[in-house]
Structure 1
Amino acid sequence: MGQGASSGRMDLSQRNPEEDTKHTGETHKTPAASCPTCRLAVRVAVSLAAVILVTGLVLTLALLAMRTAAAETDQTAKSSGQELRKHRQQCQEDYRDLNLVLHTVTQDSRCRVCPERWFWWKGHCYFFSVGLEENLQWNKSAEFCQRHSSSLAVITDRSEMEFIQGVMRTFPQLPFLWVGLTDSKEEGRWLWRDGAEIQHYMPAKVEWDGEDRDCADLRGGGSLFAADCEAYGPWACKRES
């Protein structure tokens, strides 16, 4: 009986896997079969995370560097602007002080570089007859200047022209000034009192030229006009200081 029972039992060690499959209808998958795929996915994920982390770190450092550079540049610009404003303010103060000294010196008769009632400018003295002398003809005004060791003004550059124009603007009733320019020696050939051609010092042209207009006067805007030498008007003398 013991043998029958023994023979009636199924030896589990001798079970056919195919039979188990038939009974269950499916095969059992083992975890070991999917391990290589899992490890690859983990590696890819870790790599991507590392790339993202490094990229983020680089971008953060770059942004920080840009902000630092911008702050330094802004600070440098502010410092430069402050220094420039201080320098400009100092120059303006020095200019005012210099003007005050020059004014004081020129008003002191012991230090005056120009005769009384004459203006000093860039190494020369200028006399403007407006309000000081009666109007004269061109030749008579030239004689007046000669008596005072000077000549009718010869204008040698634009800055001198602007200076004389500035003085003229202080006299609202001053339409023109006789200056040292004439074509009395040769019609149409305008010469300054020092013998130089009109174009020698700067581009210039005498308007309204004509046979009966041999003397030039200076008007607003730096314009030169031919006029009758017998006409009466104010004048400007010039001499070295």
Structure 2
Amino acid sequence: MTTWEMEPGGEEEELEAAAGLGRSGQLVMCGVLSAAAAAVLLIGLFWSLGFGAGVAQTTEVSGSEEQQCERPEDDLEVMLHAAIGDSSVDSCPAGWSWWSGRCFFFSVGLLEDRQWNQSAEFCRQQGSRLAVITDAAEMDYIQTVMRKFSRVPFLWVGLTDALQEGHWLWLDGSHLQHHMPCVKVEWDAEDRDCADLRGGGKVFAASCDAYSPWLCKRDVLLGAQHL
């Protein structure tokens, strides 16, 4: 028999015993029960207006922290952009790809591989620069395009620690994890001062003298001012 499954007539006796009352105190008992019910209502109101909201907020913050490094759920949008482009594609130079208000140039299959500095100079001549990847959605788009090529060992991007060993900076002057908090540079060493992007969104340190395809990026509306 559970706590709430009491024998007939036993419920009233148990309540009276718990309150220390006899049958003659039933009116007092009713008052006690009314006060208890009011207290329960007040507690429920406090929970919904105050503490409950705080718990919900804490849960929401905790969930957002856990999801900080997860991939955004916009893969379908990324694939659609990569597959069919957008009406703004005419705003990009020939041979460039449009995505989310920016133009991207993947040198794969178009030009011979170059060293990091040579790649950076090419991008500058085009009014752009080696790509500074600013968010996870942009990373997903780039990875989607990379998967189209039969063989892309890596792409030069605008990331280097040439100024200070181990202090990786994007070409916009921001720290490595300013835009992408979960990205880390692997294989870092004193003779590896330039970064390349590989499959899975991974970034590796490499010799700046190595030859590789590269990725340029420019803003459609503002040209080279905001890349």
TM-score (ref. length: structure 2): 0.59
TM-score (ref. length: structure 1): 0.55
CA shift at 1:176, angstroms?
0.5
Distance 1:157 1:227 in 2: 23
C-alpha distance 150-100 of structure 1, shift in aligned 2 (>3 A): closer
Distance 2:214 2:114 in 1: 8
Distance 2:85 2:151 in 1: 31
One of 164, 170, 174 as aligned partner of 1:192: 170
Residue aligned with 1:199, SS: helix
Unaligned runs of 5+ in 1: 1-95, 107-111
The AA in structure 2 aligned to 1:167 is V
CA shift at 1:228, angstroms?
0.3
Distance 1:101 1:174 in 2: 21
The AA in structure 2 aligned to 1:220 is G
One of 153, 160, 171 as aligned partner of 2:138: 160
Distance 1:124 1:211 in 2: 33
Q: Is the 8 A contact 2:85 2:98 kept in 1?
A: no
User: What does the per-residue CA deviation read over 1:5-49, in whole Å, with 9 as the maximum and x for residues that have no partner?
Assistant: xxxxxxxxxxxxxxxxxxxxxxxxxxxxxxxxxxxxxxxxxxxxx
CA shift at 1:147, angstroms?
0.1
C-alpha distance 115-230 of structure 1, shift in aligned 2 (>3 A): same
- Divergent runs of 4+, >6 A: none
Alignment map for 1:206-221 (pairs within 5 Å): 206-221=185-200
C-alpha distance 101-240 of structure 1, shift in aligned 2 (>3 A): closer
Unaligned runs of 5+ in 2: 1-79, 221-227
Q: Is the 8 A contact 2:188 2:205 kept in 1?
A: yes
Distance 2:150 2:134 in 1: 25
Distance 1:190 1:139 in 2: 16
C-alpha distance 168-100 of structure 1, shift in aligned 2 (>3 A): closer
One of 73, 86, 94 as aligned partner of 1:116: 94
Alignment map for 1:110-149 (pairs within 5 Å): 112-149=90-127
Distance 2:96 2:152 in 1: 18
Instruction: Considering fraction of residues, name the structure with more helix.
Output: 1
Residue aligned with 1:200, SS: helix
Identity of aligned residues (%): 62
Q: Identify the residue that residue 51 of structure 1 maps to in structure 2.
A: none
CA shift at 1:101, angstroms?
9.0
Say if 2:184 is the partner of 1:205. yes
CA shift at 1:172, angstroms?
1.8
The number of aligned residues is 139
C-alpha distance 101-212 of structure 1, shift in aligned 2 (>3 A): closer
Residue aligned with 2:127, SS: coil
CA shift at 1:139, angstroms?
0.2
One of 160, 175, 183 as aligned partner of 2:153: 175
Alignment map for 1:27-176 (pairs within 5 Å): 102=86, 106=89, 112-176=90-154
Give the superposed CA RMSD: 1.9
C-alpha distance 228-100 of structure 1, shift in aligned 2 (>3 A): closer
The AA in structure 2 aligned to 1:229 is C
Say if 2:219 is the partner of 1:240. yes
Distance 1:114 1:101 in 2: 11
The AA in structure 2 aligned to 1:231 is A
Q: Identify the residue that residue 91 of structure 1 maps to in structure 2.
A: none
Kindly name which structure, 1 or 2, has the bigger radius of gyration based on alpha carbons: 1
Residue aligned with 1:172, SS: coil
